[in-house]
Amino acid sequence: MISLKALLIRDVRIAVRIGGGALMGVLFFLSIVTLTPFALGPDLKLLARIGPAILWIGALLASLLALDRLFAADHEDGSLDLILMGRAPLELVVAAKALAHWLTTGLPLVIASPILGLILNLDANAIAAVAATLLVGTPALTYMGTIGAALAVTLRRGGLLLPVLVLPLTIPVLIFGVAAANAAAGGTVSFAAPFTILCALTLMSIVVGPFAAAAALRAGME
Amino acid sequence: MPLIDLANPSRFLALVGKMLPWLVAATLVALAAGLWQALFVAPDDYQQGATVKIMFVHVPSAWLAMAIWALMSIAALGTLAWRHPLADVAAKAAAPLGAGFTFLCLLTGSLWGRPMWGTYWVWDARLTSVLVMFLMYLGLIALWRTVEDPSRAGRAAAILTLVGAINLPIIKFSVDWWNTLHQPASVVRVGGPAIHPSILVPLLTMALALTLLFATLHLAAMRNEILRRRVRTMQMLAAQGASA
């Protein structure tokens, strides 16, 4: 437990210091949300209607973009080998690393989403719903993404492979995240049904992700 | 013969050599019988006319697309749990075939949709989940093609295959849910009365024929893959000898 805590603190520290690039994801998120009205036109009604979807797509892409750093830096400087040889179970290590990654890339997206919701003309209800669904849903993206990150880490040409592998796995999260947000913004479906399924998806990916990612790391590092 | 005997690639190659001519013959017979029944015996649909015959290729392709992922999942267990040397060969040979059948299913469905629904594509739950499966097949093939060392590629692909096997039902469920939420207006469901034997018999014959076709192509592709790996090993040995 102590080593996992140390790993968590180390990862968060590395991410927030110079060269860590923790806030790069938020910047990308902001850029995507700013770009969308240029493509769709400045119609505030339209933006309010599809705002939750824009925010979710932006958050999905932003968290995907940061994923390749999850293991790559450790692989480059050799600390990944040390971690693999350590006594802490690899599954828990992956879970701790993913938690640190979410704290530094996923959580900032959640915190930034209300402000971006404002410029997309969302009302207070919808802003709260988007923030709540992102808070619950982005861990699922990170933990599902660990599988792709672990598969791609040892590859020299893994760059585009990661999103290709991870994106299909994130479809359920996207569906239920946007559905719950839209429901709160005034739909016909209840908010609770998609939201609880979103919670279930997150819990499931927290279980499946570390196991698959640990297996992928073991297979890749041999 | 127990599965472990097949772990020897030479023995497997000998078996494949013996089986392939028979499989090719059986495939040709079944395909001829199936196509003849589908094209000349089975009646036209009273609403859809002759276009209903697309179904005889479309439905078996969809079945096979799912069955091949299941086969790859079993092979993935063979790779990860037992390190069976032929398991990853089987998985690698199956992936492009699975992608091919999925594409055939999408293509025929699209061609069928044009006269029946008036459009090549609708975001119907089934179409969408088959499209996602096609994407996952392509991702798997991309992974196979990115890692040079075959046994490492095999283990990575096995993990992805199993993750896909867990996720595909969830994706299917989510897409169904998403679709009922959106309520498309233009989709005409084929549904209606249960399938009449005059349609069912050709359909099952075609399913058998396409399964045999898959088995033939799969065994041939496995043989090619084993030979390709031997060539690779020989080339590496030769390169080592040349440099020494």
A 10 A CB-CB count for A30 gives: 17
Q: Tell me the pLDDT band of B186, cut-offs 50, 70 and 90.
A: very low
- Chain A 147-166, CB below 8 Å of chain B: which residues? 147, 151, 155, 157-158, 161, 164-165
Q: Is the pLDDT of residue B193 over 60?
A: no
CB pair distance less than 8 Å for B139 and A176: no
pLDDT of residue B211: 93
Q: Which residues of A touch B160 (CB under 8 A)?
A: 147, 151, 165
Instruction: Examine the pLDDT at B6 and tell me if it is beyond 80.
Output: no
Q: What are residue B45's DSSP bridge partners?
A: B49
What per-residue confidence (pLDDT) applies to B185? 45
**Interface probe, candidates A146, A151, A190, chain B, greatest B C-beta count within 10 A:** A151
The answer to whether A212 contacts B159, with C-beta atoms less than 8 Å apart, is yes
Q: Which residue has the higher pLDDT, B56 or B101?
A: B101
Locate all alpha helices (DSSP H) within A44-105, ordered by sequence.
44-66, 69-76, 79-85, 90-101
Scan residues 82-141 of B and list those with Cβ closer than 8 Å to A: 132, 135-136, 138-139
The mean pLDDT value of chain A amounts to 87
Q: Which chain B residue shows the shortest CA-CA distance from A222?
A: B152
Quote the minimal CA–CA distance from B76 to chain A in Å.
Answer: 13
Residue A76, CA atoms < 13 Å, CB-side half-sphere: 6
Q: Which tokens go with B234?
A: 């020989």
| DSSP 8-state code for residue A170 | G
CB B137 within 8 A of CB B95: yes
Average pLDDT over residues A67-84: 85
Would the pLDDT of A103 be above 60? yes
pTM metric for this prediction = 0.86
Asked if A53 is an interface residue toward chain B (Cβ–Cβ < 8 A), one would say no
How close is the nearest chain B Cα to the Cα of A153, in Å? 11
pLDDT band at residue B68 using 50, 70 and 90 as cut-offs:
very high
Question: Is A198 strand, coil or helix?
Answer: helix
- Using the Cβ of A61 and the Cβ atoms of chain B, whether some distance falls under 8 Å is answered with no
Q: Is A171 on the interface with B (CB under 8 A)?
A: yes
**Crossing angle for the helix pair A124-152 and A44-66, nearest 10 degrees?**
30
Distance of CA B144 to the CA centre of its chain: 16
Q: What is the DSSP string of chain B?
A: --GGGGGSHHHHHHHHHHHHHHHHHHHHHHHHHHHHIIIIISPPBTTTBGGGGGHHHHHHHHHHHHHHHHHHHHHHHIIIII--TTHHHHHHHHHHHHHHHHHHHHHHHHHHHHHHHSSS----HHHHHHHHHHHHHHHHHHHHHH-SSHHHHHHHHHHHHHHHHHHHHHHHHHHHHHHHHH--SSPPP--SSPPPHHHHHHHHHHHHHHHHHHHHHHHHHHHHHHHHHHHHHHHHHHHHHHH-
* Distance, first Cα to last Cα, chain A: 26
Q: Looking at beta carbons, which residues of chain B come within 8 Å of A159? A: none
Measured over all CA atoms, what is the biggest interatomic distance in chain B, rounded to whole angstroms? 75
Do A175 and B175 lie within an 8 Å CB cutoff?
Answer: yes
% of chain B residues with pLDDT over 90:
31
Q: What is the pLDDT of residue B27?
A: 92
Nearest-angstrom CA–CA distance, A187 and A62: 27
Query: Partners of B49 in the beta sheet?
Result: B45
User: What is the pLDDT confidence band of residue A204, given thresholds at 50, 70 and 90?
Assistant: very high
> Residue A24's pLDDT is what?
85
A176 touches chain B (CB under 8 A): yes
Q: Is the pLDDT of residue A154 over 50?
A: yes
- Which of A73-77, A195-199, B155-159, B189-193 shows the lowest per-residue confidence on average (mean pLDDT)? B189-193
Q: Work out the minimum CA distance from B174 to partner chain A, whole angstroms.
A: 5
Banded pLDDT at B188 (limits 50, 70, 90): very low
Q: Residues A173, A178, A181, A187: what is their CA dihedral angle, to the nearest 10 degrees?
A: -130
Site of tokens 């897409």: B175
CA torsion, ordered B171, B172, B177, B181, to nearest 10 deg: 90
pLDDT at B71 over 50: yes
Say if residues A148 and A140 touch (Cβ distance below 8 Å): no
What amino acid occupies position A219? A
Tracing tokens 């850029």 back to the chain, one arrives at: A31
pLDDT at B212: 93
Residue B170: list chain A partners with CB under 8 A: 172, 201, 204
Residues 151-170 of B with CB under 8 A from A: 152, 155-156, 159-160, 162-163, 166-167, 170
